[in-house]
Amino acid sequence: MAERTTGRGTGPTELADFEHGAELVERVVDWFRAEARDLPWRRPDASAWAVMVSEFMLQQTPVARVLPVYEAWLARWPTPAALAAEPVGEAVRAWGRLGYPRRAQRLHAAATAVEEAFDGTVPDAYDDLCALPGVGEYTAGAIASFAYKKRHIVLDTNVRRVLARVVTGTEFPAAATTPADRRIATALLPQNAPDAAEWAAASMELGAVVCTARAPRCDACPVAKLCRWVADGKPAYDGPPRRGQTYEGTDRQARGRLLAVLRDTHGPVPREELEAAWTRDVTQRERALASLVTDGLVTEVDGEMFALAH
């Protein structure tokens, strides 16, 4: 690998008094080479489509839950064209219990766009990726970086947490990506594209398995000696309240119960079967059902029958 260089020296004030940018990158990448999990979308034979599927599935969903669905998905739909040729309801059905089923709908729409606009090949250009349904700033950078070894910042929650702790001494980053996050990430990004792609994967892995939100393993961290948060005594977070992920009793749970009935049945389902799936709050159930129809995940058939969208 070529000598790694970062954008320090011309970087933002957030890095002005952080003297270990190049060392941070080097240590994390060396750790990654020795400790990275063997995940199918990281293997040399993984297609750009495989990377894209993994990125959609991994949004807000742990790796352990994604793996079996990912493998079944690619066995059934090894290319964007294969998915685009089937009804969107089949994508929602195959999504199973990963949660946030609109991701399945958007992945189907993205596959259709890839087939129609890019001859079935996932594009490698950042702007083209951003134009696909369901692909935003992070996902476009991740696909370009991981599938095509392009030089882009890749800022998911894990990476932002690593940078917040190591560079700024803050336990948690802001709820959403900030301009400061982008400036720090850009200043640290190696100039060589393959090095930048490896750093993106490595920093993400560090946040996922070592620099975790609830129980960081600082004793196993390759950059603990460079970390401002550790050096400052791990001060407790004192920013805006962090949102929890309450699920029990929510509209999300109600939607999930209704979709489970529809996924398990091929063909229309009578309203009464859906009513039996969520009895705790009739108003909430009707609201959840209406939102599934509005979102295009469910189709109303003959007034009192419902089915996954086609």
Q: Which domain holds residue 58?
A: 40-148
Residue 255 — very low, low, confident or very high, per pLDDT cuts 50/70/90? confident
Tell me, yes or no, whether 179 and 202 share the same domain: yes
What total number of domains does the chain contain?
A: 3
Instruction: Please state the φ and ψ torsions of residue 299, each to the nearest 5 degrees.
Output: -115, 135
Tell me, yes or no, whether 83 and 213 share the same domain: no
Could you say which of 55, 90, 198, 205 is catalytic? 55
pLDDT tens for 97-124 read 898 899 999 999 999 999 999 999 999 9
Tell me, yes or no, whether 29 and 60 share the same domain: no
Tell me, yes or no, whether 22 and 53 share the same domain: no
Tell me, yes or no, whether 170 and 29 share the same domain: yes
Mean pLDDT across the chain: 90
Per-residue pLDDT for 252 more than 90?
Answer: no
Tell me, yes or no, whether 23 and 171 share the same domain: yes
CATH number of the domain encompassing residue 274: 1.10.10.10
Residue 26 lies in a domain: yes
Per-residue pLDDT for 294 more than 60?
Answer: yes
Tell me, yes or no, whether 159 and 92 share the same domain: no
55 catalytic residue (yes or no)? yes
Report d(CA 59, CA 32) in Å as an integer.
21
Rounded to two decimals, the pTM is 0.85
Residue 55 — very low, low, confident or very high, per pLDDT cuts 50/70/90? very high
Residue 62 lies in a domain: yes
Q: Among the three residues 118, 148, 178, which one is the final residue of a domain in this structure?
A: 148
CATH number of the domain encompassing residue 138: 1.10.340.30
**Token duo for residue 152:** 């882009």
Decide if 17 contacts 167 (C-beta within 8 A).
no
CATH number of the domain encompassing residue 201: 1.10.1670.10
Largest CA distance in the chain: 67
Q: Among the three residues 202, 231, 260, which one is the final residue of a domain in this structure?
A: 231
Tell me, yes or no, whether 205 and 284 share the same domain: no
